[in-house]
A and B are shown apart, each in its own frame.
Chain A
Amino acid sequence: MTHYPYPLKAKFWTPGVLVLLALMAAGAIAAVARFTGGIGYVSNLSTARPWGLWIGVDVASGVALAAGGFTTAFVAHVAGRHTFEPVVRPALLTAMLGYTFVVIGLLVDIGRSWAIWKPMVYWNFNSVLFEVAMCVMFYLNVLYIEFIPIVVERFKGRVDLPGLLSSLNRPIDALLGLADRILPKIMWVFLIAGVVLSCMHQSSLGSLMLVAPTKVHPLWYTPILPLLFLTSAIAVGYPMVVFETTLATSSLKLDGEMQVLGPLTRFTIYLLGLYMALKIGDMVVRGTYVYLLDGTARTNAFLAEMLLGVVVPWLMLLSDHVRRSRRALFIACTFIVGGVLLNRVNVFVVSYQPPVSEASYFPAIGEILITTGLIATLMFLYRFFVTHLPVLSAPAREVSS
């Protein structure tokens, strides 16, 4: 099957983009407040609750929902199922932007943003976070390298910088040419390294909370937490591709690519089914089902995560009808994406019980504005990139009123 990714000629400044700009501006104001008044000025974080919305959503969910990058790279390039190639580039773009924003989110969350390089020098091999940080750093670079061919394809022989910069045209073009000659020969190393690094830190993100056995609610605290994080990240990869592709093709008035997305979600039945089996089996083995009906907010968050985020969409995907319907498939995949998001928030925030203080936590407006601002910027850049670079290959939809 051949597909031809091309830069879109879509109108850029739509009302939706203006909404994104407003969210970005609000987030920027909150970020200025963060870097002048401190984390305490914009957030509800405390001694008892050191991690909140930023770690739960910007970092943990950001990493999980960027899993489309390595799962599509695996299926199309490593396993050689080339029918799925059309979704590789958009998933790669999402992963690249997602991880970039994980790092930006971390810069906001850590107290000494300027010291973020220090883990490269000071190593603690006992620290799960150290391993996560190293993997994220390497993987982000792998993602940038995987993205270079897209830039090469668009600009090789066509570098035309304006004004004073025009003297750089030839050197840049030479660099692109060099990349074009070398990268195809060694790209397999980066493709596989990307999958390996992803498996490592997706699972280790789950190990992070194992250091606090007395603080994490037993519904979530299990020795197989890293395995659950890995399987859920792999399971959410394709649904996330469906989610973002459907949003993008709707917004940009392109064909829905159902001939790719439908078959892709057939894998999800097995992957999500495996995650569901592990999660329920773990609950049975450890006997934590005793909490299920205690009616607390924590337990209800667990039930929502499992029923709405896993069981319902899994049952939906079993139906051929759902997998052929663009709308139904989008709904099922949205539930799965929301379920993984809720799971990460649950593990890092909801399940966390400070042992002494009865401190409850709800994100402050400043935290929320920074998170929404980051997500809006990510979507803005996605639109910018697909407009100017050959990422999407879906043909324009037939015009119908």
Chain B
Amino acid sequence: MKLDRRGFFKIMGAAAGASLASSPPSADARSLKAPPDAYGCLVDLTRCIGCRKCEEACNRVNELPAPDRSFEDPTVLNTLRRPDERTYTVVNRYFPGKLDSQNQLVPTYVKIQCMHCQDPACASACIVGALTKKANGSVHYDVSKCIGCRYCMVACPFEIPAYEYHDPITPRVMKCTFCFERISKEGGLPGCAEICPVEAITFGKRSTLLSVAKKRIRENPARYIDQIYGETEVGGTSWMYLSGIDFDKLGFINVPDQPTPKLAETIQHTLFSYLWSPIVLFGLLSGIMWTSHKNGQPNDTEKGEDR
């Protein structure tokens, strides 16, 4: 089904703006939560050859269960896949319509994993703060806090977190960790970035990666479209993509530039900072109760005091 999302977000933006304008000044200060010097990864889709070495390395370094079909099996690419509770990253093959000199369709390969948003909806949603944006850029999951409510999965605009639905007692939320432990060490790389044989995945400071990406576009405008997916999407993501083909032909979804948790957090903090509204309501109701009982008949206010 097709909705006019652009128009819809415009309306939403206006509404959020209006609610901001009328709220107390302390409440609208929702600063961007992105860490100042976070790492990121730049995926250059024009370089990716679809070898799936990144999937294999991810599986190995994260000690995930063995896949149903070998990482060497090329027929795996015949279907579009999604990351799941046993797979943090997958590579999909698209034929967006470009032909080579022999009139063959040219494939474009797209690696999918957690985008590690700068202002993650999952971390905003998480009831216990088990998901947090770390200074190194990763959106980190702490299983020891998790209660399994799956609100992170509801919140994620990229439909990434998966769940161990078949574990009855201790299921976990499963998603790319950005190899948190590895990149916390000096010189450490995520498993996928380390193994990539064609340097399609560049790991580095997000600010550096953005200038690298812009340089590539500038120096080779025929090779790239003029967009970095992840630069501004949902307030920016740590994982960013360069492409020669329109992103919407490659399974990338249209998301707003505004961080998706913004409206919910603004409403919540406007209403409940310092618990001002419950306190006012309590006072108001006490007043009503006092007045009604002063004016009313002497009565059996309390339950159980009827007789």
Contacts and interface: CB of A to CB of B under 8 A. Distances in A.
Given A111-B150, A112-B169, A355-B158, A79 B256 contact: no
B126 A50 contact: no
A121 B129 CA distance: 11
A100 interface: no
Given A126-B124, A207-B267, A118 B147 contact: yes
Nearest to A150: B304
B303 interface: yes
Contact of B147 (A34, A40, A115, A286): A115
Nearest to B283: A192
Contact of A128 (B123, B150, B268, B306): B268
User: Counting chain A CB atoms within 10 Å of each CB, which of B149, B155, B296 scores highest?
Assistant: B149
Contacts of A38: 164-168, 171
A199 interface: yes
Interface string B121-161: 10111111110000000000000011111110111011101
Q: Give the contact-size bracket for chain A.
A: 35 or more
Given A80-B292, A88-B303, A356-B159, A126 B265 contact: yes
Indicate the member of B255, B277, B285 with the most A CB atoms within 10 Å: B285
A150 B303 CA distance: 7
Contact of B150 (A51, A196, A286): A51
Contacts of A85: 300, 306
Contacts of A153: 304, 306
Given A80-B292, A126-B123, 16 more contacts: A36-B168, A41-B166, A47-B153, A110-B150, A119-B147, A146-B303, A149-B305, A153-B306, A184-B304, A192-B285, A193-B282, A211-B260, A211-B264, A214-B253, A223-B12, A354-B159
25 contacts: A4-B307, A39-B163, A41-B166, A47-B163, A48-B159, A51-B154, A77-B303, A82-B297, A85-B306, A88-B303, A110-B150, A112-B146, A119-B128, A124-B126, A125-B269, A127-B125, A127-B126, A149-B303, A209-B154, A211-B125, A213-B256, A213-B263, A223-B19, A298-B1, A355-B157
A-B pairs, top 6 by smallest CB distance, nearest first, are A111-B148, A149-B304, A40-B165, A80-B292, A50-B153, A122-B128
Interface of B: 1, 3, 5, 8-9, 11-12, 15-16, 19, 82, 84-85, 121, 123-130, 145-151, 153-155, 157-159, 161-171, 251, 253, 255-256, 260-261, 263-265, 267-269, 271-272, 277-278, 281-282, 285-286, 288-289, 292-293, 295-297, 299-307
